[in-house]
Structure 1
Amino acid sequence: DLYEWGWHYLGHLFDSLWVLHRHHHKFYNPTPFGTIADYPLDNFMRSLYPVVVYAASHGLIGMPLDIDMLYFATAFVTIIWGMYLHTGHELSFLPYDHPVFNTSFQHYAHHAISVKNKPYHTGNFVKWWDDFAGSIYKGTQVIPALEDQKLGNRSLEIWEKEVEPKLPDYSVLLSPKWLG
């Protein structure tokens, strides 16, 4: 997780790395499909997680990590948690302001307001690294969905009236005819 935070943080801090990482921020509201939607070099650096975890295990405890545990740890932090962060759904058992874990709200805030030279919430799993670097968002420009609901927004009625009519008709994708 420290490696992910470091690479991601630097991707927002340095011009040469922002050129690679900015493509991931094409959409301010992330989706699970965008979890690994990165520039090739950005993805290559992220593909080094197993190597970094293996080296850290060997260096910190003097023995290599079991290969199954290595892949599980890497998959959990990068794929499973990364997909959750990009869903945009807040979980009732994991409050958006959890003191330890990054939630989909923090990652939404990251995509909505974190730009070059202004990294917010670049960590993946835990907030420790962002807390240490002072890159935790404390503003009010972006608010959690649950708080927005308390203000009377994001209701089913509003969705049906304002959002749903503007959605494209994806039912055509249920038939092979769309292939042409």
Structure 2
Amino acid sequence: MDVVLEVFDGLMFDRLYANILPIQSASSFDPISTLTAGFKGYGGNDTAWQAASQGADMGLQRSAWEYKPASQYLQVQPSEYAWMSRWDRDDAWRQTVSLYIITWLFGLVIYFLCASLSYIFVFDKDTFNHPKYLKNQMRMEIKQTLESIPIMAIFTVPAFVAEVRGHSFIYDNISDISHPILTLFGSSWNYLQFPLFILFTDFCIYWIHRGLHHPKVYKRLHKPHHKWIMPTPFASHAFHPLDGFSQSVPYHLFPFIFPLHKFAYIALFTFIQIWTVMIHDGEYVANSPIINGAACHTMHHLYFNYNYGQFTTLWDRLGGSYRKPNDELFQKDQKMSKDEWSRQSKEMEKMVKEVEGKDDRSYGPEETFVRRRQKVA
């Protein structure tokens, strides 16, 4: 995330912090800057500190911070604003605030972008007529997401800050870090990190997700996401904040255990958001015994206690929780038939009684869509 942070610093944050928290003039005492400098370990023999002190003596308002590119592959040269705030780019509080804003905004942008594209080009609108589709469901999905993302961002930011401050095994070049796995695989790790990331996170999420279905946990944390029996792409991030964060922990844990390239980290983090939308889009294109795609995840939303995996069916098969998607889901003329919906509804109602007890959902079509169809007709 240091690469992303450098880009945002150059584009907006440097100027923002320079205006909100400017360095005080030499004639005034600034305890915050003094304490910050002390905690950073600046001393009389430090060149940067001496330069800053000399600048202060001359009345110049300039930080002692020194620019070091986050990556050799992408650099954004800082403007003068980068040296004009008492919170320079290396300040932990500034990094925390900046990363929170980035995480929140990035989460919202990719959610609305991917979910909207999926809704327009992929999602089958006949789903609105399914007997287990909730009244005004999309509106509720979006509302829950908007409430959850800023809270999930709070839980996520500490991992990003720790990574930015050099406490993980994220690297720009293999020679930058020392790790036993790099000694074993060398440059091949640049390719092997991708399948290992998928296997590691898939394994961890399987057990976390399965744990969220424990009776003592389910109703408190995971039930809000299972409110959507027939989800739309906008249900992809509609979680209880602790539920959503808990299932993201393996993604953040991986680079603190294994080496991970900076740009692989960004690419995988983006892929995860897109994949989360894809498994909720209701388009069953992959009838694969290996990939835990939208069809498998539909089985999970319909019947609750199956297909906990995120990417593959491996751990569900080993854990005895795999359920093969109904063949009808892959046949366009049958997946939206009343007979198939009736079978799904009857079994789903039995599972709801077993897992939740009373079904407190309010079913009905998406009103806006229904009105639009009636008007066209």
Q: Same fold (TM over 0.5)?
A: yes
Q: Which has the higher helix share?
A: 2
TM-score (norm 1): 0.68
Match of 1:28 among 229, 232, 251: 229
Match of 2:308 among 122, 133, 138: 122
Give the number of the structure whose alpha-carbon radius of gyration is greater. 2
2:196 is equivalent to residue 12 of structure 1: no
2:263 is equivalent to residue 102 of structure 1: no
Q: Percent identity?
A: 26
Q: 1:82 to 1:144 in 2, by over 3 A?
A: farther
Provide the residue aligned with 1:86 in structure 2: 280
2:186 is equivalent to residue 2 of structure 1: no
Which structure ranks higher in relative contact order (CA pairs < 8 Å, sequence separation ≥ 6)? 1
Provide the residue aligned with 2:318 in structure 1: 132
Asked whether the equivalents of residues 211 and 217 of structure 2 are also in contact (C-alpha less than 8 Å), the reply is no
Asked whether the equivalents of residues 221 and 243 of structure 2 are also in contact (C-alpha less than 8 Å), the reply is yes
Match of 2:270 among 75, 100, 113: 75
- Shift >6 Å, 4+ stretches: none
- Displacement after TM superposition at 1:83 (Å): 0.9
Provide the residue aligned with 1:159 in structure 2: none
Asked whether the equivalents of residues 329 and 335 of structure 2 are also in contact (C-alpha less than 8 Å), the reply is no
Q: Which stretches in structure 1 are left out of the alignment for 5+ residues?
A: 58-63, 155-165, 174-180
| Matched AA of 2:269 | T
Q: What SS does structure 2 have at the residue aligned with 1:73?
A: helix
Q: 1:29 to 1:48 in 2, by over 3 A?
A: same
Q: 1:149 to 1:3 in 2, by over 3 A?
A: same
Q: What SS does structure 1 have at the residue aligned with 2:213?
A: helix
Q: CA deviation digits over 1:91-150, x for unaligned, max 9?
A: 2xx2x2x12101211111100111xxxx200111111011110101158xx554224725
Asked whether the equivalents of residues 206 and 308 of structure 2 are also in contact (C-alpha less than 8 Å), the reply is yes
Provide the residue aligned with 1:163 in structure 2: none
| Matched AA of 1:55 | F
